Amino acid sequence: MKNALSLDKWLEIAALSMFAILLGFSIYLYFNLPETIATHFNAVGKADAYGPKSTVFILPGIYLFLQLLLSSISLSSDLLNTPVEITAENQERQIELGRRFLLVLRIVVGFIFLSIEYAAYGLGDKIDDDLTIWLLPLIILLLAIPIVGYIVLARRAR
């Protein structure tokens, strides 16, 4: 159990670090972008809406909210939604897996948000017209891996 606590501690540090990195990158962008920036991109990666550069702080704000929400869910085992029925025999393991899944999800979402900010603003003049060719599949893959992994592990630990 000591290893599990150690792993959870490192995952928590990684999740909080993702917020710090995202916020730091947003601050960097704020001081290095023009006053008006692209705020939305269509399906082919072309900017189709513009706004003030302060919008770079929207994703860190959303990420902070998600961090707090997922952290509060993981604190109450009653709020965890598991893919298998919780029994007296599997309760401890299922709760551990559910909480760890939420930790991993917090890290993945942070990485996704950081990727979005980098792709949208960090590339500057070198922005690729085919932005969504790699970004959307990356987002789907990054979300699918922990979800599928959690479901498999939870079913094995019935």
pLDDT in tens, 12-71: 999 999 999 999 999 999 999 999 888 887 776 677 888 999 999 999 999 999 999 999
Nearest to 33 by CA among 47, 54, 4: 54
- pTM, full prediction: 0.85
Task: Let me know: does 130 contact 138? Beta carbons within 8 Å.
Answer: no
Amino acid in position 109: V
Residue 155 gets the label, from left (phi > 0), alpha (psi -120 to 50) or beta, of alpha
Q: Which residue has the higher pLDDT, 69 or 132?
A: 69
**Distance from C-alpha of 124 to C-alpha of 15, rounded to nearest angstrom:** 27
Tokens of 6: 């150690």
